Copies of this chain bind each other. A is one copy, B any other.
């Protein structure tokens, strides 16, 4: 809570606009491509089985920020790519992401996403699982159309790592002994794997030297970790409520995100018993979320998680140093700021 903007309590709308401004430079450069990606997405989620576009569209059209496809477009642009395969690949990356969201919401029994009822709430778990499978296989069809084995290798590996990360997260859930290292392992797998792949494939289709592909991958990896660290911290940030977001979802599910990992390590016996009761045993009372936020504050746990996100963000920005300065490079680096500053 040391940020002056937060102390000054600007309106939720002003915050939202300032936040989006950091995405504006990239959006300006790749906006027309992103429009094509959106059209491709709509075309490719179509099916003779009406429930598929209906359910997929509910989530896809619900106003996600399309950060991952923007990264693929930005990476391709940074590598001077002049063809058309980046549109297919960006749609593909968004399909993988959407498939994982559908399955995540089933697994987490979530009710709300992006301010709307989740697909599993509206249609039930069964179609959510199966439409997720459809989008996932559709993403592979899109990849195949790029006719690049290297692209397929990168994205198939990413998909596999994501699934492994999701299972790993499930096994750490409710485990109050989860370490920072294990937490970061989950985050690198379930979130950063797709960010890094989304960036790398942009360089690969442009046939750029491996150093550039490696640099973009490094950028995506660090950006992805920063993104998830902030996301997890936001779940305990009271000011989020002003933006109409619910807080405490991770707490209610007993998800061991970094703030809790740190508070658990730094807490006394009584505090550790509190975390064990609420996170491991899931015995929670009305006042527990408030108490959790108080303990996180006492141990600087949210601030430290955000600070760690900042360090990952710096690494992401530095990774692009091998590219000469350009509007595109600046715009890509601005995405890092967007991800870090989402909390304001």
Q: Which residues of A contact B (CB under 8 A)?
A: 47-52, 100, 103, 106-107, 125-127, 129-134, 136-138, 140-141, 143-144, 147, 149, 152-153, 156-157, 159-160, 162-164, 166-168, 170-171
Question: What is the chain B residue whose CB lies nearest that of A185?
Answer: B48
Question: What is the chain B residue whose CB lies nearest that of A138?
Answer: B160
In the complex, A137 Cα to B136 Cα: how many Å?
A: 9
B160 touches A134 (CB 8 A): yes
B159 touches A140 (CB 8 A): yes
Q: Which residues of B contact A138 (CB under 8 A)?
A: 160
User: What does DSSP make chain A's interface, helix, strand, loop or mixed?
Assistant: helix
Question: What is the chain B residue whose CB lies nearest that of A109?
Answer: B126
Of B125, B143, B152, B166, the residue contacting A130 (CB under 8 A) is B166
Given contacts A140-B140, A144-B149, contact A167 B51 (CB under 8 A): yes
A133 touches B163 (CB 8 A): yes
In the complex, A103 Cα to B62 Cα: how many Å?
A: 26
Given contacts A144-B156, A167-B51, A167-B52, contact A130 B107 (CB under 8 A): yes
B49 touches A167 (CB 8 A): yes
Q: Which residues of B contact A163 (CB under 8 A)?
A: 130-131, 133-134, 136-137
A126 touches B49 (CB 8 A): no
Of B51, B106, B136, B143, the residue contacting A171 (CB under 8 A) is B51
Known: A51-B167, A133-B163, A134-B160; 17 extra A-B contacts, CB below 8 A, are A49-B167, A49-B171, A100-B133, A103-B130, A106-B129, A107-B130, A127-B167, A130-B167, A133-B136, A133-B162, A134-B163, A136-B137, A136-B159, A137-B156, A140-B140, A141-B153, A149-B149
